[in-house]
């Protein structure tokens, strides 16, 4: 084997190990509550061979079909320049079929999947940490009153930690999760060795027999079985951090075997116990896998694992919000970069504190992880079902599969995912309403901002003067002063209102006038050689368009300093940035409903300033206001 091949293999193994620490925490902590909830959740089931083998078989085949096949094998091939997730998939699809009659529907589906993710990112920390801390009651029932206070302290500490960045803590994630997965695999394997008949659950007939015998009851059980595959969407969303190859290696080579050993081990333990002992163990089968002397260390290890899983979901919320901002679905927010080496490590204060408040409310409202499980399935199954619909467009519109192949494949997964979603609908009154409400609010915000921006740009374009005409008329009507003036413009045509107001009120022009537009492409990253697009209009007027990908940081001074253009270098001490600040006036024009216009106006007032978002020097910025009706 050559040295280059060894280096590639070594790098792949390191990335695979890193993925275990970052990506698989959500699905990795599901054994704490998934198996338990199928028997002691909203609908209790008898503990006997039929039900145990049926449930374990459902868990195995759900994990194999949804996670291993649908996400890891198929959807991970649908990368947008290496990036995954619902918004990245929508951007990929939009480039191919965005101008068709149903392109708008694809965007709405992706936006709604994103909206559901916010509900998921609120529930995951609450249910994960709470289920781990509840293990203390297995060690000592007298610790029950301390479960919620301990969980709240851990969760608040987790969100406070975000503003410091997670680079140092993140270095410990992979070792802790590798230990965690190894431990739960060993615990499960020991029980399988004692009760090997649990391996019959590998045969899908036991899942079928479960449905034939129980029918409606088995269908409702799907609402809890699906908890075993929570986090499947995260595998796809985080693909850009580690790459498809390392993710597949870590999933098939380590994570999936460990999870299956644990689930089969829980089933084997319940089958091997007398009825009375099984009734006690089913209340917390994950912790009963360990001997009494080792249960407290297992609680501590599981708590660390859920802490890491929660961290990954919170970081995912930051990442998807950043994507949504760049793609025009969310107002500009204050974004802090917590690492000088990794651009993807960001912290968004408003998202962090909103999630923390929601998680605290969830814990105090639902009180235990079993109640929270009722709220969990809707968000997960809804996002998975939407991904399946987008997958259909991917097969036919992008990959050009023959319809006789694509349609049966999509229908197969749609039946499975749709069944899980339908099975969770009965949970709506008992908690499933929460992610739906969060999703509806997030969807309203995302679509209102996107629609409002579109309308506002249309109105401003109607009122704006072509820049070349303005440049000709302004040459002789104003005095020229030394220096450079950069006028930020949201559109790629027309004259910025700040430039019009500047010459109207100040009656001066700088020696060099640059009308600068920042455009976000539907690809994650733009080649630096294609960053700048420059048009010279004569007499010191220039139009510059900076192109960024939706995963990139929009640092305007850095981009301007990276090359000499527009007649010479940009000296920030001789450059002034002029920003247009619009005040929105609601009106009866046929654009949006009045309540949406007021929501859009509120978001505009509370959005981060362009100065902060584009990282402009604070002492070189001038803002000029105008009023716009939509």
State pLDDT tens for residues 471-528: 777 666 677 888 888 888 877 677 787 887 777 777 788 888 888 888 887 777 888 8
Q: Using the predicted structure, report yes or no on whether residue 199 has a pLDDT greater than 80.
A: yes
What pLDDT sits at residue 550? 78
SS3 481: strand
Q: Determine the Cα–Cα distance for residues 381 and 229; give it in Å rounded to an integer.
A: 9
Q: Tell the residue number behind the tokens 């969770």, with chain if given.
A: 424
Ranking 202-211, 279-288, 505-514 by mean pLDDT, the lowest is 505-514
What pLDDT sits at residue 264? 95
- pLDDT (tens digit, 9 = 90+) per residue, 14-40? 777 777 877 888 888 889 888 888 887
Query: Exposure pattern of 337-353 as b/e (b: 16+ CB <10 Å)?
Result: eeeeeeeebbbbeebbe
Query: Exposure pattern of 230-257 as b/e (b: 16+ CB <10 Å)?
Result: bbbbbbbbbbbbbbbebbbbbbeebbbe
Residue 252's nearest CA partner among 72, 58, 66 is 72
What pLDDT sits at residue 77? 82
Q: Determine the Cα–Cα distance for residues 88 and 90; give it in Å rounded to an integer.
A: 5
Residue 18's nearest CA partner among 161, 150, 177 is 177
Q: Using the predicted structure, report yes or no on whether residue 628 has a pLDDT greater than 70.
A: no
Q: Using the predicted structure, report yes or no on whether residue 453 has a pLDDT greater than 80.
A: yes
What pLDDT sits at residue 476? 65
Ranking 411-420, 543-552, 579-588 by mean pLDDT, the lowest is 579-588
Neighbours of 71 (CB within 10 A): 25
Determine the average pLDDT of the residues in 466-473.
73
- Whether the model clears a pTM of 0.85, i.e. scores above it, the answer is no
Ranking 42-56, 59-73, 88-102, 109-123 by mean pLDDT, the lowest is 88-102
Residue 379's nearest CA partner among 233, 259, 221 is 233
Q: Using the predicted structure, report yes or no on whether residue 610 has a pLDDT greater than 90.
A: no
Q: Using the predicted structure, report yes or no on whether residue 55 has a pLDDT greater than 60.
A: yes
Determine the average pLDDT of the residues in 529-540.
83
Ranking 43-47, 467-471, 474-478 by mean pLDDT, the lowest is 474-478
Residue 129 burial (10 A CB sphere; 0-12, 13-18, 19+): buried
Query: Is the Cβ–Cβ distance between 498 and 578 less than 8 Å?
Result: yes
Q: Using the predicted structure, report yes or no on whether residue 342 has a pLDDT greater than 60.
A: no
Q: Using the predicted structure, report yes or no on whether residue 167 has a pLDDT greater than 60.
A: no
Query: Is the Cβ–Cβ distance between 370 and 355 less than 8 Å?
Result: no
Show Cβ contacts of residue 217 under 8 Å, excluding neighbours closer than 6 positions: 43, 45
Percent over 90 (pLDDT), the chain: 14
Show Cβ contacts of residue 625 under 8 Å, excluding neighbours closer than 6 positions: 580, 581, 582, 583
What pLDDT sits at residue 630? 63
What pLDDT sits at residue 344? 55
Determine the average pLDDT of the residues in 180-191.
94
Determine the average pLDDT of the residues in 332-355.
75
Q: Where are the beta strands (DSSP E) in 436-540?
A: 479-488, 508-520, 532-538
pLDDT, mean over the chain: 82
Residue 228 Cα distances to 34, 225, 244, 258, 283, angstroms: 5, 6, 22, 13, 17
Q: Which two tokens stand for residue 176?
A: 């802790």
pLDDT band at 434 (very low <50, low <70, confident <90, very high): confident
Strand-pair partners of 510? 481
Determine the average pLDDT of the residues in 286-306.
89
Percent over 70 (pLDDT), the chain: 90
Task: Using CA atoms of 209, 30, 79, 173 in order, give the dihedral in degrees to the nearest 10.
Answer: -150
Q: Determine the Cα–Cα distance for residues 413 and 579; give it in Å rounded to an integer.
A: 49
Neighbours of 441 (CB within 10 A): 13
pLDDT band at 605 (very low <50, low <70, confident <90, very high): confident
What pLDDT sits at residue 240? 67
Question: Rg of the Cα trace of the chain?
Answer: 27
What pLDDT sits at residue 115? 85
Determine the average pLDDT of the residues in 208-233.
84
What pLDDT sits at residue 339? 57
Q: Using the predicted structure, report yes or no on whether residue 238 has a pLDDT greater than 90.
A: no
Q: Is the dihedral of CA 231, 236, 241, 243 positive or negative?
A: positive
């Amino acid at each position: 084997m050559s040295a280059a091949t060894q280096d590639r293999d070594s790098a792949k193994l390191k990335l695979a190990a890193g993925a275990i620490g970052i990506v698989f925490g959500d699905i990795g902590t599901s054994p704490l509550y998934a198996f338990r909830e199928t028997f002691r959740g909203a609908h209790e089931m008898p503990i006997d061979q039929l039900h145990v083998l049926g449930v374990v078989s459902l868990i195995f085949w759900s994990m194999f079909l949804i996670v291993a096949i649908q996400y890891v094998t198929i959807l991970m091939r649908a990368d947008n320049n290496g990036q995954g997730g619902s918004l990245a998939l929508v951007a990929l699809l939009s480039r191919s079929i965005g101008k068709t009659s149903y392109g708008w529907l694809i965007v709405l589906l992706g936006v709604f999947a994103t909206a559901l993710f916010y509900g998921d990112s609120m529930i995951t920390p609450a249910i994960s940490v709470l289920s781990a801390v509840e293990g203390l009651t297995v060690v000592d029932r007298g610790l029950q009153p301390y479960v919620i206070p301990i969980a709240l302290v851990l969760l608040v500490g987790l969100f406070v930690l975000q503003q410091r960045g997670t680079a140092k803590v993140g270095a410990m994630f992979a070792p802790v999760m590798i230990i965690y997965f190894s431990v739960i695999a060993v615990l499960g394997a020991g029980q399988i060795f004692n009760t090997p008949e649990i391996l019959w659950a590998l045969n899908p007939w036991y899942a079928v027999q479960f449905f034939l015998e129980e029918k409606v009851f088995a269908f409702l059980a799907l609402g809890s079985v699906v908890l075993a595959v929570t986090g499947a969407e995260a595998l796809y969303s985080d693909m850009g951090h580690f790459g498809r190859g390392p993710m597949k290696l870590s999933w098939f080579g380590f994570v999936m075997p460990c999870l299956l050993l644990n689930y089969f081990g829980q089933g084997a333990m319940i089958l091997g116990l007398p009825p009375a002992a099984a009734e006690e163990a089913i209340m917390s089968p994950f912790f009963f896998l360990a001997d009494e002397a080792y249960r407290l260390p297992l609680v501590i290890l599981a708590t660390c694992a859920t802490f890491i899983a929660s961290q990954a979901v919170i970081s995912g919320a930051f990442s998807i919000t950043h994507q949504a901002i760049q793609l025009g679905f969310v107002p500009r927010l204050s974004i802090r970069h917590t690492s000088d080496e990794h651009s993807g490590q960001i912290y968004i204060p408003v998202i962090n504190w909103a999630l923390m408040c929601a998680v605290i409310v969830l814990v105090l409202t639902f009180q235990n992880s079993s109640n929270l499980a009722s709220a969990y399935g809707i968000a997960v199954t809804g996002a998975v079902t939407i991904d399946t619909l987008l997958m259909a467009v991917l097969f036919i519109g992008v990959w050009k599969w023959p319809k006789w192949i694509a349609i049966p494949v999509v229908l197969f997964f749609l039946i499975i995912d749709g069944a899980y979603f339908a099975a969770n609908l009965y949970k709506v009154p008992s908690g499933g309403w929460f992610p739906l409400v969060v999703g509806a609010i997030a969807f309203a915000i995302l679509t209102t901002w996107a629609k409002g921006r579109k309308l506002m740009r249309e109105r401003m374009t109607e009122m704006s003067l072509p820049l070349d005409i303005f440049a000709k008329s302004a040459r002789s009507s104003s005095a020229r002063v030394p220096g450079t003036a950069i006028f930020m413009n949201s559109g790629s045509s027309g004259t910025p209102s700040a430039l019009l107001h500047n010459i109207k009120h100040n009656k001066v022009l700088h020696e060099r006038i640059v009308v600068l537009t920042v455009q976000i492409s539907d690809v994650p990253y733009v080649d630096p050689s294609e960053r700048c697009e420059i048009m010279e209009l004569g007499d010191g007027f220039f139009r510059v368009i900076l192109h960024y990908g939706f995963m990139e940081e929009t640092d305007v001074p850095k981009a301007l300093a990276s090359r000499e253009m527009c007649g010479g270098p940009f000296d920030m001490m001789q450059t002034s940035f002029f920003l247009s600040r619009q005040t929105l006036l609601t009106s009866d024009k046929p654009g949006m409903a009045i309540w949406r216009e007021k929501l859009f106006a509120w978001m505009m007032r509370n959005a981060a300033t362009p100065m902060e978002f584009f990282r402009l020097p604070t002492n070189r910025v001038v803002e000029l206001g105008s009023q716009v009706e939509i």
